[in-house]
Amino acid sequence: MSKYTPKSSELKKEFEEKPTILKGDYLDKEWWDIPVEFRDGNWCFPAKPEVVENLGFPNPRKWTATDSDWKLPVGWEKTISEGLKSRLKKYRSLKLFLDSCVRCGACADKCHFFLGTGDPKNMPVVRAELLRSVYRHDFPLVEKILTGFSGSRKLSAEIIKEWHMYFNQCTECRRCSVFCPFGIDTAEITMLARELLNLIGVNNNWILEPVSNCNRTGNHLGIEPHTFVQNIESLAEDIEDLTGVKVEPTFNRKGAEVLFITPSGDVFGDPGVYTMMGYLLLFHHIGLDYTISTYASEGGNFGMFTSNDMMKKLNAKMYHEAKRLGVKWILGGECGHMWRVVHQYMDTMNGPADFLEMPVSPITGTRFTNAASTKMVHIAEFTADLIYHKKLKLDPKRNDHLRTTFHDSCNIARGMGMFDEPRYVLQQVCNTFHEMPDNTIREQTFCCGSGSGLNTEEYMEIRMRGGLPRANAVKHVKEKHQVNSLVTICAIDRASLPTLMNYWVPGVSVYGLHELVGNALVMQGEKKRTEDLRENPMAGFTKGDDDEE
């Protein structure tokens, strides 16, 4: 365990003994009087100067959050204040959300970071107040007469530090927005606040480096085309070893019917690669005419955690490549924020995609009218439709060694509204499924604690704290129903939840939905299966046993 991870026994002790407002203890000061303290485990490394330069972003320099002087550029106050003003003109949402909060407190205990830290500034209402208080200072009429009446503050370097800390303790998960009577969305506020911080070079390397990579190589991990191909081909070899079936994905192939785009974590990261194997098996099973691009080789979009323009710039590759290859429509893999971008931003930013056709499943003939304009279909929708029309040969018993529960990813849940398709697929490919408690699933789902570009090693303490509510709900079903598998449809979840499970709920493994689909698929010409895609033995499929049905 790294130096950035506190012992779980220490955290447990803190939760039991330390007084917090979450437990009903009163705070002896106002939130704005609480100093900001950076220590190991609660800040992300700032972007390397060369990364910032490469992106053409302002103020590249060497600095760390624990420095007292952050070397902000000359005139940074003006940059922030004008940046805020121009965004207020561009976004009705920002203006409304800053103006209309009544501080009713409904959101206060809905944030996973608040639940895991007890820190008053992690209540969504206060997170917004961090910005709102500075915004109010621009309208000082009442404030001049009555100091402190509406809690306004003059912008200072200390406030920038506070913003950096707390707008990076928000994963833009939108859970608070579900409970807010006015629908105030802290994700929107955090997105724009991070945009402002980037204007003065207050940034996060784990976000900006992937952005820079993605711009250059096409994907966050910075994988160059030949390596990208090699990796998927080695996954195809693994599939052949395991099943005896040779899958043959194509790359950058013009004239394919479908362009398949998934987060690069599925190509390189464990356990994402098993999900990738699942996709490859599925596409082979149904004989889909598809291709994978090495240029648009990233489904995710860390631009979203940087600035609006960067989101658009990285996303533009999808349509650009679809047009170049002449495909009919795009199929997207399992990812959370990727789908927030694809569902709510892509068509507006980079559309209209009039060079593509209405997505139609070549196997079932289903017209995906819900994607009529974007022309991009989610793999869970696609697979659910296949299963519903009985086009897949499945043996759910092959997942009998897995007792599953499903983690709704924030963006898929609250930024897209897809709940039932993945559940349907999951229940068709495995026999044991138990839901976590009501207040922790579907639109009330809890974030993994590492979303929005915070999935970095040096941030481990905050991640483990933020992930506590999710882990707690998993623990509940583990104890009650002996659940041992957490299934999810998000690449960041697949990367971060294993660490979280190890920390809070050892004994639970993390799976992608299509990994389980891959396990269950009965392929034509396959050899006898005894192991799942991870080469773990499947229950009741011992070697030598005859298992013909």
Partner 1 sequence: MKKVFLPLLMVSVLAFIPYVGVHYAGLGYLFGVVLPYLAMAVLLGGFLFRMVDWLRRPVPFCIPTTCGQEKSLDWIQQDKLESPSSFLYAAARVLTEVLFFRSLFRNTKAKMHKGPTLAYGSSKWLWLGGLGFHWSLLVIVLRHSRFFLVMVPDSLQLLDEADRFFDITLPAFYLTDALVLATVTFLVLRRLRDSKMQVISLPADFFPLFLIIAIIIAGISMRYVTKVDVMPVKALMLNLVNFGFEPPGEIGTLFYVHLFLVCMLAIYFPFSKLMHSGAIFLSPTRNQCNNSRAKRHSNPWNSAIKFRTYSEYEDDYREKMKKAKLPVDKQ
Q: Which of residues 266-285 bind partner 1 (CB under 8 A)?
A: none
> Does residue number 514 form part of the binding site for partner 1 (CB under 8 A)?
no
Closer Cβ to partner 1, 69 or 438, answer by number: 438
Count of beta carbons in the 10 Å neighbourhood of residue 343: 21
Report the distance separating Cα 217 and Cα 196, nearest Å.
27
Lookup: tokens for 142: 């009442």
Whether the CB-CB separation of 286 and 391 falls below 8 Å is answered with yes
427 binds partner 1 (CB under 8 A): no
State in angstroms the smallest separation of the CB of 314 from partner 1. 8
Binding positions for partner 1, 444-463, rule CB under 8 A = 444
Give the residue carrying structure tokens 């070697």: 543
360 touches partner 1 (CB under 8 A):
no
Q: Out of 69, 146, 544, 546, which residue is the one contacting partner 1 (CB under 8 A)?
A: 146
**List 36, 101, 363, 522, residue binding partner 1 (CB under 8 A):** 101
User: Residue 1 interacts with partner 1 (CB under 8 A)?
Assistant: no
Cα separation, 236 vs 238, in Å, equals 5
Is 396 a binding residue for partner 1 by CB under 8 A? The answer is no
CA-closest candidate to residue 49, choices 58, 39, 40, 62: 62
Q: Per the structure block, which two tokens stand in for 462?
A: 């905050």
- Of residues 519 through 538, those in contact with partner 1 by CB under 8 A are none
Q: Which is nearer to partner 1, 105 or 544 (CB)?
A: 105
Rule CB under 8 A: choose which of 81, 344, 431, 530 binds partner 1. Answer: 344
Residues 184-243 that bind partner 1 (CB under 8 A): 184-185, 188, 215-216, 218, 224-226, 229-230
Contacts for 137 with CB less than 8 Å, ≥ 6 apart: 143, 152, 153, 154, 155
The single residue among 5, 22, 195, 541 that binds partner 1, judged by CB under 8 A, is 22
**Rounded to the nearest 5°, which phi and psi values hold at 546?**
-90, 130
User: 171: which residues sit within 8 A by CB, 6+ positions away?
Assistant: 112, 113, 410, 447, 448, 449, 450, 451, 452, 454, 466
Q: Which helix (H) or strand (E) segment is 87 a member of?
A: helix 76-90
Residues 6+ apart with CB under 8 A from 420: none
Q: Could you say whether residue 363 binds partner 1 (CB under 8 A)? A: no
Q: How far is the CB of 527 from partner 1 (least distance, A)?
A: 28
3-state class (DSSP) for residue 364: coil
CB of 400 vs partner 1, minimal distance in Å? 27
Q: Residue 541 interacts with partner 1 (CB under 8 A)?
A: no
Q: Does 349 bind partner 1 (CB under 8 A)?
A: yes
Q: Which stretch binds partner 1 (CB under 8 A): 71-79, 106-114, 426-434, 515-523?
A: 106-114
Q: Determine if residue 399 is left, alpha or beta; phi over 0 gives left, psi from -120 to 50 gives alpha, anything else beta.
A: alpha
- Among 295, 433, 503, 541, the residue binding partner 1 under the rule CB under 8 A is 295
Q: Which of residues 470-489 bind partner 1 (CB under 8 A)?
A: 472, 475
Q: How many residues lie near partner 1 (CB under 8 A)?
A: 122
Q: What is the DSSP letter of 346?
A: I
Judged by CB, which is closer to partner 1: 352, or 507? 352
Q: In terms of CB distance, is 287 or 417 closer to partner 1?
A: 417
Instruction: Closer to partner 1 by CB, 1 or 372: give it.
Output: 372
Neighbouring C-beta atoms of residue 312, cutoff 10 Å: 18
CB of 118 to partner 1, least distance (A): 8
Nearest 5 degrees, angle CA 117-CA 172-CA 137? Answer: 85
Q: Which stretch binds partner 1 (CB under 8 A): 75-83, 369-377, 398-406, 425-433?
A: 369-377
Q: Is 83 helix (H, G, I), strand (E, B) or coil?
A: helix
